[in-house]
């Protein structure tokens, strides 16, 4: 399998089993599975850096047409991915997580 971050975002991806998701998250530092979605929080030094990271996440997502929920405030950004059309976490969500770990660490 090619590296996760380089895989394409595809239409019609199926929801994965929890065990499979947890196994893949072992290679995605910072990401957690809460039973419904995967999420990661970043800590930053100030509001400006948090806003910049939130923007980076937003535009990566828009470019891929796969969109997270993002919350940010002073010194923190939280990103949550699930695939609405599949009703769960799909490979697309994990690919986005891998891309963000690359772009935002």
Ligand X SMILES: C[C@H](O)[C@H](O)[C@H]1CNC2=NC(N)=NC(=O)C2=N1
Stretch that binds ligand X, among 15-23, 28-36, 38-46, 83-91 (CB under 6 A): 83-91
Stretch that binds ligand X, among 28-36, 44-52, 76-84, 97-105 (CB under 6 A): 76-84
35: left (phi over 0), alpha (psi -120 to 50) or beta: left
Strand spans (E) along 46-105: 69-73, 76-81
Decide: is 66 part of the binding site for ligand X (CB under 6 A).
yes
Query: Which residue number, 32 or 46, has a Cβ lying nearer to ligand X?
Result: 32
Query: Which residue number, 3 or 69, has a Cβ lying nearer to ligand X?
Result: 69
Strands across the sheet containing 32-33 = 32-33, 38-43, 76-81, 69-73
Decide: is 84 part of the binding site for ligand X (CB under 6 A).
yes
Among all chains, which residue has been given the structure tokens 């039973």? 35
Query: Which residue number, 33 or 44, has a Cβ lying nearer to ligand X?
Result: 33
Instruction: Give the whole-angstrom CA distance, residue 13 versus residue 10.
Output: 6
Query: Which residues form the interface with ligand X (CB under 6 A)?
Result: 65-67, 81, 83-85
């Amino acid at each position: 399998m090619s590296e996760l971050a380089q895989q394409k975002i595809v239409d019609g991806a199926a929801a994965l089993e929890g065990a499979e998701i947890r196994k893949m998250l072992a290679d995605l530092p910072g990401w957690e599975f809460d039973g419904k979605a995967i999420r990661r929080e970043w800590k930053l030094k100030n509001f400006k850096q948090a806003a910049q990271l939130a923007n980076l996440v937003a535009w990566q997502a828009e470019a891929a047409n796969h969109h997270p929920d993002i919350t940010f405030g002073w010194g923190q950004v939280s990103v949550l991915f699930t695939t609405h059309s599949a009703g769960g976490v799909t490979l697309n969500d994990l690919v986005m997580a891998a891309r963000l770990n690359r772009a935002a660490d």
